[in-house]
Amino acid sequence: MAADRVDAVAFDLDGTLIDSVGDLAHALALTFADEGLPALPLTVVRDLVGKGIPTLIARGLARVTRMPADEARAAAMLPRYFAHYEATLGERSAPFPGVAQALAAIRALGCRTAVVTNKAARFVRPHLERAGLSELFDATVGGDEAPARKPSAEPLALAARRLGVEAARVLMVGDSANDVGCARAAGAPVVVVPWGYREGAAVQDLRADAIVGSFDALVAYVAGRRTSPAR
């Protein structure tokens, strides 16, 4: 795999391209307030992010009540969370430094680009638009568009079809075990960034093909994979 050429790059959204934990934590706090529950600190919410909003609510609920996760109660809270989230989307989040420049450079190398996220699809394009990134992607895949969420191979496989490339030639860029697992399941290469939301895991423990310490380093990595021969 390491010698294969990359024809497209797929990015996780939250924690990889955009520091969005402020939006997520604020919507969670408003939802919990509706239930008479206290808000969780931002640092705690950061470690709970990773498997979509239903899981975030269930994990947060378990943390504040100090009880086992109540999946039914969390599911009942989901519509209110989404209403709060949609109303404040983008107010407490921003792209990580260098994102737009890196995306433009990767596209200039001839790579197509996509977002592959567990975030609900209806929020993906609005979030990218408010971050000023929407024109830099050829495709997006939300968490409710594929038959299963990351770490399943399905979201990346769907992105590859939308991009018109083989999944094995799509480089996945993420920040968590979900991203690595998704890429591995799809037979695709994967790198991770040292920032982001990893559910408390160390970045070295994710066992990606590489850790890229900056967006400049990511562009250099992609450039190296563009010169690799196709097989």
Domain holding 41: CATH number? Answer: 1.10.150.240
Q: What DSSP string describes 130-193?
A: HTT-GGG-SEEE-TTTSSS-TTSSHHHHHHHHHHTS-GGGEEEEESSHHHHHHHHHHT--EEE-
What pLDDT shows up at residue 228? 58
Considering the domain boundaries, does residue 1 fall inside one? Answer: no
Which among 3, 14, 42 has a CA at the least distance from the CA of 178?
A: 14
pLDDT in tens, 133-153: 999 999 999 999 999 999 999
Considering the domain boundaries, does residue 231 fall inside one? Answer: no
Task: Calculate mean pLDDT across residues 70-98.
Answer: 94
Least confident range of 109-113, 152-156, 173-177, 194-198: 194-198
Q: Is pLDDT of 1 > 80?
A: no
Considering the domain boundaries, does residue 114 fall inside one? Answer: yes
Catalytic residue flag (residue 144): no
- Of 88, 119, 147, the residue that ends a domain is 88
Considering the domain boundaries, does residue 131 fall inside one? Answer: yes
Q: Is pLDDT of 219 > 50?
A: yes
State the CB neighbour count (10 A cutoff) for residue 27: 25
Helix (H, G, I), strand (E, B) or coil at 113: strand
Assess whether 130 and 176 both reside in one domain: yes
Assess whether 79 and 136 both reside in one domain: no
Assess whether 195 and 157 both reside in one domain: yes
Mean pLDDT in the chain? 93
With bands split at pLDDT 50, 70 and 90, how would you rate the model's confidence at 2?
very low
Assess whether 115 and 187 both reside in one domain: yes
Assess whether 103 and 203 both reside in one domain: yes
Least confident range of 29-33, 44-48, 128-132, 144-148: 44-48
With bands split at pLDDT 50, 70 and 90, how would you rate the model's confidence at 51?
confident
With bands split at pLDDT 50, 70 and 90, how would you rate the model's confidence at 225?
very high
- Of 53, 88, 123, the residue that ends a domain is 88
Least confident range of 14-18, 65-69, 80-84, 150-154: 65-69
Assess whether 68 and 113 both reside in one domain: no
pLDDT in tens, 52-78: 788 899 999 999 999 988 889 999 999
Assess whether 129 and 81 both reside in one domain: no
Please tell me the pTM assigned to this model.
Answer: 0.91
Q: What is the enclosing helix (H) or strand (E) of 94? A: strand 94-95
Assess whether 12 and 53 both reside in one domain: no
What pLDDT shows up at residue 57? 95
Structural domain boundaries, residue 203:
8-19+93-226
Assess whether 195 and 117 both reside in one domain: yes
Task: Calculate mean pLDDT across residues 82-94.
Answer: 95
With bands split at pLDDT 50, 70 and 90, how would you rate the model's confidence at 167?
very high
State the catalytic residue, choosing from 12, 14, 179, 209: 12
- Of 88, 108, 139, the residue that ends a domain is 88
Considering the domain boundaries, does residue 180 fall inside one? Answer: yes
Q: Looking at the 3D structure of the chain, how many domains does it have? A: 2
Cβ contact 31:80 at 8 Å: yes
Assess whether 45 and 104 both reside in one domain: no
Assess whether 191 and 100 both reside in one domain: yes
* Share above pLDDT 70 across residues of the chain, in percent, rounded to a whole number: 97
Tell me the residue type at 77. Answer: M
- In this structure, the strands spanning 112-116 and 139-141 are parallel
What pLDDT shows up at residue 229? 55
Domain holding 108: CATH number? Answer: 3.40.50.1000
Assess whether 158 and 108 both reside in one domain: yes
Q: How far is CA 146 from CA 57, 117, 119, 175, in A?
A: 21, 10, 12, 20
